[in-house]
């Protein structure tokens, strides 16, 4: 069994590739997803990263944006606008069904993990693929900017991630615990993959949860080699999508594959960087990680599958 840590579009794309090589090359995949972006809107519980992974693995994600549902309509959004509601956050009509049922099931006493399982099966995701919210407890990512502390979606969507970020905090993280399913997956995994997600606000909340780092470091898969692989979300100093590069730089980190690798030092055995960053491989090796140079841009499902197979081969060496 492999476990993957994911959030955002880049994370969802690699999860798609890993899912594509299961169950033949990987017998089972469990994707642990950031929930620090979750928030309430119009009385509905929205889980952006969970839904991006959910829709991508179900094969219904919007291929242009990477998030939302392909060919979704906006009748509800238009009606809200006519009512004078600020429609800064896109809610497609089919997408609304997800949020309505998530909110209903949570109010009925189901956990976020149970709700996500229901949604995954309803969308036809195979039973050997499990999507796991990192925690069932509320955690809220907030960023400090010159305008003050902002909820993540206010910073990212409403303000188009234009504000310099001075610091990040995860409200509620000290009281939250990873789910039993999350800890079990990490301890039992032969391989743990850090997907090419923002290391600060997508992977960061997962690693900050109490016990997660320890679960990765002390996995129980002793019958076979244990390995942790990270894929860089930065290519040529830039993020392909989202504010990872700007956020790294504004918080004093190097905006490069090496800068990301430093954040994972001590956890990761193999670090995957793009061919255009091959010259950085010696610096990755100096951090105690084996560099793997490969094409990491995943525009199509085929490219996602190819990268997943490169990782699988590297782990087997």
Q: What is the mean pLDDT of residues 170-195?
A: 96
What would the DSSP string read from start to end of 281-302? Answer: HHHHHHTT-EEEE------SHH
Residues 111, 117: Cα–Cα separation, whole Å:
10
- Report the pLDDT value the prediction gives residue 219, as an integer from 0 to 100: 63
Q: What is the mean pLDDT of residues 226-245?
A: 93
Residues 28, 18: Cα–Cα separation, whole Å:
10
Residue 223 has pLDDT above 60, yes or no: no
Domain 2-35+128-316: give its CATH superfamily: CofD-like domains (3.40.50.10680)
- Report the pLDDT value the prediction gives residue 95, as an integer from 0 to 100: 97
**What are the backbone angles phi and psi of residue 265, rounded to the nearest 5°?**
-60, 135
Per-residue pLDDT of 57-95, as tens digits, reads: 999 999 999 999 999 999 999 999 999 999 999 999 999
User: What are residue 148's DSSP bridge partners?
Assistant: 145
Tell me the pLDDT band of 222, cut-offs 50, 70 and 90.
Answer: low
CA-wise closest residue to 248 among 173, 172, 168: 168
Tell me the pLDDT band of 217, cut-offs 50, 70 and 90.
Answer: confident
Residues 312, 315: Cα–Cα separation, whole Å:
5
Residues 296, 127: Cα–Cα separation, whole Å:
27
Tell me the pLDDT band of 224, cut-offs 50, 70 and 90.
Answer: low
Residues 162, 155: Cα–Cα separation, whole Å:
8
- Report the pLDDT value the prediction gives residue 232, as an integer from 0 to 100: 98
Residue 220 has pLDDT above 70, yes or no: no
Residues 113, 135: Cα–Cα separation, whole Å:
8
CA-wise closest residue to 130 among 228, 280, 23: 23
Cβ burial of 213 (10 Å; 0-12, 13-18, 19+) is: middle
Mean pLDDT value across the chain: 95
pTM for the whole structure: 0.95
User: What are residue 33's DSSP bridge partners?
Assistant: 6, 133
Chain position carrying tokens 């997600």: 197
Helical residues (DSSP H) of the chain, grouped into ranges: 8-20, 48-58, 75-82, 93-107, 112-122, 152-153, 180-188, 203-208, 212-217, 244-250, 257-263, 281-286, 301-316
| Secondary element (H or E) of residue 134 | none
Tell me the pLDDT band of 226, cut-offs 50, 70 and 90.
Answer: confident
Residue 284 has pLDDT above 90, yes or no: yes
- Residue 190 in tokens: 């032969």
Per-residue pLDDT of 254-270, as tens digits, reads: 999 999 999 999 999 99
Chain position carrying tokens 């525009």: 299
Give the count of beta carbons closer than 10 Å to the beta carbon of residue 255.
19
Per-residue pLDDT of 88-141, as tens digits, reads: 999 999 999 999 999 999 999 999 999 999 999 999 999 999 999 999 999 999
CA-wise closest residue to 32 among 49, 56, 55: 49
CA-wise closest residue to 206 among 147, 264, 283, 284: 264
**What are the backbone angles phi and psi of residue 222, rounded to the nearest 5°?**
-85, -10
> Domain map of the chain by residue range?
2-35+128-316
């Amino acid at each position: 069994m492999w476990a993957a840590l994911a959030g955002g579009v880049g994370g969802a794309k690699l999860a798609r590739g890993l899912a594509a090589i299961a169950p033949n090359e990987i017998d089972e995949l469990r994707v642990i997803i950031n929930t620090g972006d979750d928030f309430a809107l119009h009385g509905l519980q929205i889980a952006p990263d969970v839904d991006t992974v959910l829709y991508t693995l179900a094969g219904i994600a919007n291929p242009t944006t990477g998030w939302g549902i392909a060919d979704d309509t906006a009748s509800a959004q238009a009606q809200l606008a006519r009512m004078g509601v600020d429609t800064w956050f896109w809610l497609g009509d089919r997408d609304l069904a997800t949020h309505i049922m998530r909110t209903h099931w949570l109010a009925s006493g189901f956990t976020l993990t149970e709700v996500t399982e229901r949604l995954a099966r309803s969308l036809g995701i195979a039973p050997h693929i499990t999507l796991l919210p990192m925690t069932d407890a509320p955690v809220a990512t907030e960023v400090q900017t010159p305008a003050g502390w902002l909820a993540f979606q206010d910073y990212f969507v409403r303000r188009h991630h234009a504000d310099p970020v001075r610091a990040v905090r995860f409200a509620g993280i000290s009281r939250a615990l990873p789910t039993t399913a999350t800890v079990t997956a990490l301890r039992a995994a032969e391989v743990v993959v850090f997907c090419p997600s923002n290391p600060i606000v997508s992977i960061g909340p997962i690693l900050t949860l109490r016990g997660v780092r320890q679960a990765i470091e002390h996995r129980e898969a002793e019958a076979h080699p244990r390995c942790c692989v990270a894929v860089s979300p930065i290519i040529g100093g830039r993020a392909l999508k989202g504010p990872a590069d700007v956020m790294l730089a504004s918080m004093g980190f190097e905006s490069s594959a090496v800068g990301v690798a430093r954040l994972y030092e001590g956890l990761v055995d193999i670090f995957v960087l793009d061919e255009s960053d091959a010259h950085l491989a010696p610096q990755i090796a100096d951090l105690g990680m084996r560099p793997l140079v490969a094409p990491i841009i995943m525009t199509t499902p085929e490219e996602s599958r190819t990268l997943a197979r490169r990782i699988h081969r590297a782990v087997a060496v």
